[in-house]
């Protein structure tokens, strides 16, 4: 051991005194006598995942197939191939899934589809339902 060690540095009374950068009291914040060296614990609150909603297109006999493909490409970011496949599914089965989104996003997409269909005088229906 080195003889340079000053024994006053190891004095327990001195160890509990505040040093540069220490909070007042020498220990952790809120420590009265500077002897609290325990861990601080904090309870984490888990945030609940938002509910998801399915956006569906409903078949009708009047809306042109090309318009439905356009809707799927523009509002649901589908490729031409994906949009055509979904459009054919809607045409054959009566209903097709456009996507699954949080409530606000699903609500906006439904409103966009209905607004464009109305402006082009198509009876296309788009709905949202809670995803299980």
- Would you say residue 17 has pLDDT above 60? yes
CA distance 126 to 35: 66
**pTM metric for this prediction:** 0.66
Q: 29-45 pLDDT, tens per residue?
A: 555 666 666 666 778 88
Instruction: Summarize the confidence of residues 99-127 as an average pLDDT.
Output: 98
**Phi/psi-derived region of residue 78, left when phi > 0, alpha when psi is between -120 and 50, beta in every other case:** beta
Instruction: Summarize the confidence of residues 18-23 as an average pLDDT.
Output: 63
CB-CB contact of 122 with 63 (8 Å): yes
DSSP 42-87: -PPPPPPPPPEEEEEEE--SSS-HHHHHHHHHHHH---HHHHHHHH
CA distance 122 to 63: 5
Single out the residue of 99, 119, 118, 122 nearest to residue 109, CA to CA.
Answer: 99
Is the CATH number 3.30.1490.70 carried by domain 52-130? no
Q: 49-104 pLDDT, tens per residue?
A: 999 999 999 999 999 999 999 999 999 999 999 999 999 999 999 999 999 999 99
The CATH 3.30.1390.10 domain(s) of the chain lie at 52-130
């Amino acid at each position: 051991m080195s003889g340079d060690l000053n024994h006053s540095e190891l004095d327990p009374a001195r160890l509990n005194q505040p040093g540069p950068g220490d909070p007042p009291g020498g220990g952790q914040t809120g420590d009265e006598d500077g002897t609290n060296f325990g861990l601080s614990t904090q309870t984490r609150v888990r945030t609940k995942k938002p509910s998801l909603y399915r956006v569906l297109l409903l078949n009708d006999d009047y809306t042109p197939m090309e318009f439905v493909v356009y809707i799927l490409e523009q509002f649901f970011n589908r490729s031409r191939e994906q949009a055509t496949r979904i459009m054919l599914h809607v045409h054959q089965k009566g209903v097709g899934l456009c996507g699954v989104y949080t409530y606000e996003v699903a609500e906006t997409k439904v409103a966009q589809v209905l607004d464009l269909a109305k402006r082009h005088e198509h009876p296309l229906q788009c709905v949202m339902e809670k995803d299980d």
